[in-house]
Amino acid sequence: MPRSTLPITFGHGLDRASSQLVSGAERMEVLDNVLLADGSVQPRGGLEVRSTAPSATYVAGLVAARTAAVGVAVDGFGVPGEVSHSLHLSRRGGDGMGHTSVGTWLTRCYSLERARVLGVESGVRIILAHDERSISRRGNTVALNLDDNSITSLSAEWARGGDPDNSDALRFRGVTLHLDRLVGWGFGTNAVDEPNMARISEADNPLGFDETKYFRAGQSGDPLMACVSQSQGDSSALLMHKEAETYFVAGSDELNFVGPYLADKRHGAAASRLVASDGSAVYTWGLEGPRRFRGAGASDDIGWRLGLSWPTTRDLAAQGVLEQGFAEYLPRRGGGVVVFVFVDYVYALDLRTDEWSHWALSSPAHCAAVLYARGGYAGPSRGYPDYDQAVVVDADSFRIEWENVSAEGDETVEVWLRKAGDAWPGAASYTRAVTLSAQVQADGLEAGEDYEVALRFNRAGQFTAGYTTVPDTWPSVSRGTFTVPTDPPPPDLEPPTDLDGTVDSACVPVFPPAVLPCIPTKVYTLTWVNGGADETVIETRLPDDDPDTGWSFAAEAAIGETTVDYQVETEPDGATPDPDGRHFRARHRRDVSGTLYYSAASAEKVFP
Amino acid sequence: MSVPGLFFGQAGAGGVMAVGAGYDDAGATYTARAKSNPVLPAGPEGEATFPAVYLACTHRIEPVDAEPYDEVELTVQAVVDDVVAATATFTVLLRAVDDPADPPPRVRRTYELGFSVPYMVDDVEWGRFPPRGIAFQLLVEWPGSDVCVDGGRVEHEVVSRIEPVSN
């Protein structure tokens, strides 16, 4: 007689409590580090460290720059609560590989625990907000320009509140995109704190905030925790979550925005980052557990499906990890997973089956993002920049030119600079490789000194083979030197000659010296005041303009006979005219009809 | 075309971690653990014995001779009436993935696991019998790996049914 058997499936069976013949996986007592799929149990995937910021103590935030296929990480350094605590930005590849330091956001972060950062991509910028409940501890909201890696604070003149001594910087707790506009919530400046206010940017300027465009949700002392844009059919609504309330704003522009209306009077998001969206629904972890928002109405409870033995919201709050929690959407073939992460506890909701599982991370996490890697070949560039020349523009910048050889097309060109003999301080400039030149800011270029430059391709944090962190070892084709010119010699100057009386200008044969082509020669008029000269530039020419012929410039001459003193200098822009430069004195004569006649005699150092 | 992936930022270091890559957490192993729903062959009021379980797993095919392979040990516990009654282990050999772009095929195999509990008298084992009770659950533990547990069947024999009351 065949033996009797009963099926055992993970996710189905007889439920003892309810006596139902079929019960879902939520009744399973243990589901650790697994995902459920089609009635089978499979281990979750592991965690692989793809890149590391040296010396960083944690990663405060991670934001996808989808257009550039990279991630921007906010790296925390030092110990929270101490003066060493600071936040710096770095680029990571879309596949998480590679680390390139970008700059400093907060040299002193006043968060008493690991800082929380929310960010969003807008154009070529990443907007970053410091999620800090206390306005006095909150850092300025900043925009990182991915083209040049510049970091600027979001600002508005009206933020000064009429006091010019006030800062014009804006401080939001978080930012998101809604209808291609930037929305910042938890508004504040160093003079104002509006925790229940969200501001929306101008339609054509995501960084511009009008003083009159804002939404206030509920009681002023009850802070907004998160805002998220949600699709509703052919339109979008802005959900505004508080800890235990949710509001929504409908409409598409200033003319038809309506709200905020109360959508759910009991549930919201317990912390700013406990919100995730799969595109059609918004998932939050509220004070009573996880919720799902569809449309503008009240939310659905999805927490009843959680395993009873797992930590509750109250447990998480008691452990101090609730506010540190974050949610994110995990793309997965066959259906995504929403994860709620509380340092090392993870609650994973399979959206296809609505089944929960629980992960215990061996490596605690503080933030998450879905990054986008380029399809196809994702490794380091197989090309290199071919150095052409570097030309000093002024005392604080130079222009470098190169050729792109075998570029993949999405590289960033790093320009490294050092004074000859010094150590390499790191990349001084980043430029998209679609260009073939860049003007590099380099404060304090010293006249007469030799400088070395080196170039390499950075492809999502990965570098061409052979291009290490020591440019001395890079192929010579990607390196070069230039010399900052000393004070250029004075231009050649010949005595002015008489003009015929038909042109309204004087002709001064000035021949610029043979210096770098970017240094202009200028003609000043001198006005003598109390024994000193006030210089006024009346003409600026580059040597390339007309190197072989004399220059013409407008002569300031009143009717009658006027004597004008001129000075000619070849000097970088911004330099102070050298009193020892070339001078000449001219005498202009203009008749009553306005025709200028001119006769002059050159004179060197004839002035008082 | 872009390829999305979830990444975590580390809480104790400056690392960015890919989620779902491999089967360890930055070098630290973890254990997958799943406990099936209870089955009650004789109903909530009756008892049965559970001598064996046939467990189906999906994994990469086992290696051929002299081929490198991974070894995954699964621990299976028969939980009867919320008490671990018996434990069995078995090992799955996986063909190593030499080329991630061309992984070996995966197959479903069913493993038979016998369960027995000793009958002890004064610390002397007098015999062994299958676990007996009302509700049976299976608790499976195995290290993170490319092994899926698909479920299976539990063999049972009803030993106690509700007797009708005769007046």
Reported confidence tier of residue A607, pLDDT bands at 50, 70, 90: very low
**Per residue in A195-235, pLDDT tens?**
999 999 988 788 889 988 999 999 888 999 999 998 777 77
**Per-residue pLDDT averaged across A394-412, rounded?**
82
B20 in contact with chain A, both atoms CB, cutoff 8 A: yes
Cβ separation of B8 and A365 shorter than 8 Å?
Answer: yes
| Better pLDDT: B65 or B32 | B32
- Position A501 scores a pLDDT of 42
- Position A594 scores a pLDDT of 59
Count Cβ neighbours within 10 Å for each residue of B4-41 and write b for 16 or more, e otherwise.
bbbbbbbbebbbbbbbbbebbbbeeebebbbbbbbbbb
Residue A366 sits at the vertex; the CA angle it makes with B143 and A115, to the nearest 5 degrees, is 165
Instruction: Please check the confidence at residue A566 and state whether its pLDDT lies above 50.
Output: yes
Instruction: Please check the confidence at residue A6 and state whether its pLDDT lies above 80.
Output: no
- Reading the block at residue A529, the tokens are 């005041």
Cβ separation of A370 and B5 shorter than 8 Å?
Answer: yes
Sequence-ordered list of residues with C-beta below 8 angstroms from that of A314, at least 6 positions apart, any chain: none
Q: What ipTM is given for this predicted complex? A: 0.88
Sequence-ordered list of residues with C-beta below 8 angstroms from that of B46, at least 6 positions apart, any chain: B40, B134, B158, B160, B161, B162
- Reading the block at residue A359, the tokens are 């992960």
| Better pLDDT: A195 or A438 | A195
What are the distances in angstroms from CA A379 to CA A91, A375, A431, A545, B84?
Answer: 15, 11, 19, 46, 50
Sequence-ordered list of residues with C-beta below 8 angstroms from that of A106, at least 6 positions apart, any chain: A86, A87, A115, A130, A139
- Position B6 scores a pLDDT of 92
CA proximity to A53, closest of B19, B12, B22, B26 = B12
| Better pLDDT: A295 or A275 | A275
Give the H/E segment covering residue A598: strand A596-601
CA–CA separation, A368 and A364 (whole Å): 12
- Reading the block at residue A519, the tokens are 């240094």
CB A85 within 8 A of CB A79: yes
Burial class for A5, CB neighbours closer than 10 Å (0-12, 13-18, 19+): middle
CA atoms within 13 A on the CB side of A143: 21
Phi, psi of A316, rounded to the nearest 5 degrees: -65, -40
Q: Which of A25, A58, A344 sits opposite B13 (nearest CB)?
A: A58
**Per-residue pLDDT averaged across A150-175, rounded?**
87
**Per residue in A64-94, pLDDT tens?**
988 778 899 999 999 999 999 999 999 888 8
Percent of chain B with pLDDT over 70: 95
CA proximity to A90, closest of A123, A55, A114, A116 = A55
A18 in contact with chain B, both atoms CB, cutoff 8 A: no
Question: Which range, of A201-215, A318-332, A524-538, averages the lowest pLDDT?
Answer: A524-538
- Position A487 scores a pLDDT of 61
Straight-line distance from the first to the last Cα atom of chain B, in angstroms, rounded to the nearest whole number: 78
Instruction: Please check the confidence at residue B17 and state whether its pLDDT lies above 90.
Output: yes
Instruction: Please check the confidence at residue A151 and state whether its pLDDT lies above 80.
Output: yes
| Better pLDDT: B160 or A498 | B160
A325 in contact with chain B, both atoms CB, cutoff 8 A: no
Beta strands A151-153 and A142-145 are antiparallel
**Per-residue pLDDT averaged across A382-407, rounded?**
85
Name the β-bridge partners of A573. Answer: none
Q: Distance from A141 to chain B by nearest Cα, in Å? A: 20
Beta strands A289-293 and A282-286 are antiparallel
- On chain A, the residues whose CB falls within 8 A of the CB of B143 are 43
- Position A165 scores a pLDDT of 81
Percent of chain A with pLDDT over 90: 31
- Position A48 scores a pLDDT of 93
| Better pLDDT: A523 or A274 | A274
- Position A143 scores a pLDDT of 94
| Sheet of A582-590, strand order | A532-541, A521-529, A560-570, A582-590, A596-601
- On chain B, the residues whose CB falls within 8 A of the CB of A16 are 38, 40, 44, 135
Instruction: Please check the confidence at residue A32 and state whether its pLDDT lies above 90.
Output: no
- Position B93 scores a pLDDT of 81
What are the distances in angstroms from CA B79 to CA A377, A482, A572, B75, B121?
Answer: 50, 78, 85, 13, 23
CA dihedral sign of residues B55, B56, B60, B61: positive
CA–CA separation, A63 and A572 (whole Å): 41
10 Å Cβ neighbour count for B123?
Answer: 5
CA–CA separation, A213 and A206 (whole Å): 13
- Position B2 scores a pLDDT of 73
**Per-residue pLDDT averaged across A22-46, rounded?**
72
Instruction: Please check the confidence at residue A295 and state whether its pLDDT lies above 80.
Output: no
B37 in contact with chain A, both atoms CB, cutoff 8 A: yes
Instruction: Please check the confidence at residue A245 and state whether its pLDDT lies above 70.
Output: yes
CB A181 within 8 A of CB A172: no
CA proximity to A592, closest of A561, A560, A555, A564 = A560
Query: Residues 27 to 86 of A: which have CB under 8 A from any B CB?
Result: 27-34, 37, 39-62, 66, 69, 71, 73, 75-76
Reported confidence tier of residue A291, pLDDT bands at 50, 70, 90: very high
Query: Residues 354 to 393 of A: which have CB under 8 A from any B CB?
Result: 360-376
**Per-residue pLDDT averaged across A161-188, rounded?**
89
- Position A500 scores a pLDDT of 43
CA–CA separation, A42 and A435 (whole Å): 48
**Per-residue pLDDT averaged across B134-156, rounded?**
89
- Reading the block at residue A86, the tokens are 């600071």
- Position A29 scores a pLDDT of 66
- On chain B, the residues whose CB falls within 8 A of the CB of A56 are 13-14
B101 in contact with chain A, both atoms CB, cutoff 8 A: no
**Per-residue pLDDT averaged across B48-57, rounded?**
90
Question: Which range, of A352-366, A488-502, A524-538, B3-17, averages the lowest pLDDT?
Answer: A488-502
**Per residue in A489-517, pLDDT tens?**
555 555 555 444 444 455 556 666 555 55
Instruction: Please check the confidence at residue A141 and state whether its pLDDT lies above 80.
Output: yes
Name the β-bridge partners of A597. Answer: A589
Instruction: Please check the confidence at residue A300 and state whether its pLDDT lies above 50.
Output: yes
Question: Which range, of A107-111, A530-534, A601-605, averages the lowest pLDDT?
Answer: A601-605
Average pLDDT in chain A: 80
CA proximity to B11, closest of A57, A339, A105 = A57
Residue among A3, A15, A23, A49 with most chain B CBs within 10 A, to mutate: A49
**Per-residue pLDDT averaged across A421-428, rounded?**
82
- Reading the block at residue A602, the tokens are 């050159």
| Sheet of A365-374, strand order | A47-52, B15-19, B2-10, A365-374
CA–CA separation, A230 and A384 (whole Å): 44
Residue among B33, B37, B109 with most chain A CBs within 10 A, to mutate: B37
Cβ separation of A95 and B11 shorter than 8 Å?
Answer: no
Cβ separation of B12 and A23 shorter than 8 Å?
Answer: no
| Better pLDDT: B120 or A128 | A128
Instruction: Please check the confidence at residue A486 and state whether its pLDDT lies above 80.
Output: no
CA dihedral sign of residues B101, A384, A434, B6: positive
CA–CA separation, B48 and B134 (whole Å): 6
Cβ separation of B11 and A58 shorter than 8 Å?
Answer: yes
- Reading the block at residue B123, the tokens are 């610390």
CA–CA separation, B141 and B44 (whole Å): 27
Query: What SS3 class is residue A276?
Result: strand
Cβ separation of B30 and A9 shorter than 8 Å?
Answer: no
C-alpha A537 chain-centroid distance: 38
Q: Distance from B132 to chain A by nearest Cα, in Å? A: 15
Strand stretches in A80-207, DSSP E:
86-93, 99-106, 117-122, 125-130, 142-145, 151-153, 174-178, 181-188, 193-200
Cβ separation of B10 and A44 shorter than 8 Å?
Answer: no
Average pLDDT in chain B: 86
Instruction: Provide the residue type at B17 as one letter.
Output: M
**Per-residue pLDDT averaged across A300-312, rounded?**
72
Helices (H), A216-256: none
CA–CA separation, A525 and A533 (whole Å): 9
pTM above 0.95, yes or no: no
Sequence-ordered list of residues with C-beta below 8 angstroms from that of A358, at least 6 positions apart, any chain: A31, A32, A33, A307, A310, A345, A346, A347, A348
CB B94 within 8 A of CB B70: yes
Q: Tell me which residue has tokens 């930022």.
A: B9
Each as own residue / partner, the long-range contacts of residues A319-322 (CB below 8 Å, 24 or more positions apart, any chain) are A321/A345, A322/A270, A322/A271
- Position A194 scores a pLDDT of 92
Instruction: Please check the confidence at residue A374 and state whether its pLDDT lies above 60.
Output: yes
Strand stretches in B45-123, DSSP E:
47-60, 69-80, 83-95, 106-114, 117-121
C-alpha A87 chain-centroid distance: 13
Sequence-ordered list of residues with C-beta below 8 angstroms from that of A511, at least 6 positions apart, any chain: A491, A492, A493, A494, A547, A548, A550
Cβ separation of B16 and A49 shorter than 8 Å?
Answer: yes
Please count the helices (runs of H) and the strands (runs of E) in chain B. Answer: 0, 12
Reported confidence tier of residue A367, pLDDT bands at 50, 70, 90: very high
Cβ separation of A12 and B35 shorter than 8 Å?
Answer: no
Reported confidence tier of residue A368, pLDDT bands at 50, 70, 90: very high
CA proximity to A242, closest of A258, A257, A262, A212 = A262
